[in-house]
Structure 1
């Protein structure tokens, strides 16, 4: 019996690691770090149940759908997983999203009574750009911090970038995340390719670098504001901060619909939460 429990714990841990790769499309932060994931369970047939929630009842439906579908795809990439059942709760279109994702429908088909258009490609692209620019600024600031001048950063190739040791755990965590998007968009693949280019693949000219960095800073500030707001809203909704952000939020704080985001605060799946959702899944 103990061996079975250890085996299931290992599988549950693998699921959490896959879920950590799924990000809020606007905030470019992990759904696990943000606290979206409330409950994970692996059954005896290697089916995976995932329960998640968002800060408000009216958080953007398209973002919620993207995250649910992302969770399903990420966990299905584990070779032993047979089925993934993500379930959004406490949301105005939770039923439609849950059914649509489980049946493999597109966003347009799943939410045809609530949204026009059948594709989320434009939404994905918009926030992929923001994620790229935010990650890029992180790495440029890190390079400045270890003594690189702007001209050298503009000329830096991927091979040089790969060899740099920043001496910071957080920067070391962010370094491959930026590289991942470079390769995904085929902006830099070979060691001699420029490591710092625009999202369209154009070189960043030295005389334009200051204004370019100012724009990246604006993207970051906007994303950080939305992240902070959303974490506070989730905390206020579910009472997960004692005397913290939840108490400081003004009564008229903009809901998630105001920033068009899915957002949150860290959650760990408390015993009370686990008991509640175990009953719900029975």
Structure 2
């Protein structure tokens, strides 16, 4: 049996790692979205994670991207535990769980279902949306601090690191934008401009207002989808008292909620 202090530190590390996994479309941590219903370090040090999405018909590519992120997060745990990750109440739960457990790639898990899906293109699409959402929050925060558009667009990484915000969206997104910037433009120097388009082009000072309007539209769409996902999940499981082994609300929901033509807006 591991000491209580060691056990606590492992639990903290487990949830921290899981909190680094984002819903790929919403760019919000899966822990904050409520998708991780249970994450435990058991007596022998192994880890068990139960995962549940807002609807029975959530797109399988979203499910896989998140669960693959969970798997990678668990592989980074300092004590290298054995682990079990299980998706509940999803139309492809059996295929996903079997494939995830075997360490298979998306195409291997879904076979013909994934035949025409370019997973890397999908990741890039979501990466662009996340970059824009994070950037908008920081740009708006800097404007609210009284900086001119010219001053903002002239900032480099050193200036961004020195910027301080009151608690709020800008403060939350500043380190996340920095991480996205460094990942997207790995060859950039510390003194290079830190605010660029997703393609790496400079943002003209005179068009920053219009550029921000485009970013705002992306954020609003992501926030709407996030609220929708939270609401669907809460409605679906507000009466559910167990994770496994008992009847779920899938039949209840399927009887009362029509399946939409698209799983996400």
TM range (shorter): 0.7 to 0.9
- Counterpart of 2:67 in structure 1 is 68
Structure 1 stretches of 5 or more lacking a match? 241-250, 261-282
- Counterpart of 1:279 in structure 2 is none
- Counterpart of 1:245 in structure 2 is none
- Counterpart of 1:30 in structure 2 is 29
Do the aligned residues in 2 keep the contact of 1:48 with 1:83 (CA within 8 Å)?
A: yes
Structure 2 stretches of 5 or more lacking a match? 240-255
Q: CA deviation at 1:174?
A: 1.7
RMSD: 2.2
Counterparts of 2:29 and 2:47, CA distance in 1? 19
- Distance change >3 Å, CA 202–CA 137, structure 1 → 2: same
Larger RCO, structures 1/2 (Cα 8 Å, 6+ apart): 1
Q: CA deviation at 1:78?
A: 1.5
Counterparts of 2:134 and 2:150, CA distance in 1? 19
Do the aligned residues in 2 keep the contact of 1:158 with 1:189 (CA within 8 Å)?
A: no
Q: CA deviation at 1:192?
A: 0.7
Q: CA deviation at 1:253?
A: 8.0
Where do 1:117-136 residues align within 5 Å?
A: 117=116, 119-136=118-135
- Counterpart of 2:238 in structure 1 is 239
- Counterpart of 2:244 in structure 1 is none
Counterparts of 2:97 and 2:261, CA distance in 1? 20
Counterparts of 2:59 and 2:91, CA distance in 1? 10
Q: CA deviation at 1:113?
A: 4.1
- Counterpart of 1:137 in structure 2 is 136
Counterparts of 2:54 and 2:24, CA distance in 1? 15
- Distance change >3 Å, CA 85–CA 252, structure 1 → 2: closer
Do the aligned residues in 2 keep the contact of 1:188 with 1:195 (CA within 8 Å)?
A: no
TM-score when scaled to structure 1? Answer: 0.82
Where do 1:199-238 residues align within 5 Å?
A: 199-238=198-237
